[in-house]
Amino acid sequence: MADHDLTDHDLSNRSYGDAEFTEFAGKIASIIGVPAARLSPDTVVADLGLESMTTVELVVDLQEDYDVLLSREDFDDVTTLGDLAGLIFQRLPQRDRN
- 3-state SS string over 79-98? CEHHHHHHHHHHHCCCCCCC
pLDDT classification of 12: cutoffs 50, 70, 90: very low
pLDDT mean over 2-25:
64
Q: For residue range 21-80, list pLDDT tens digits in order.
A: 999 999 999 999 999 999 999 999 999 998 989 888 999 999 999 999 988 788 888 999
Collapsing DSSP states into helix, strand and coil, what is residue 55? helix
Are the beta carbons of 75 and 31 closer than 8 angstroms?
Answer: no
Nearest to 45 by CA among 32, 57, 60, 26: 32
**In this structure, what DSSP letter does residue 39 have?**
-
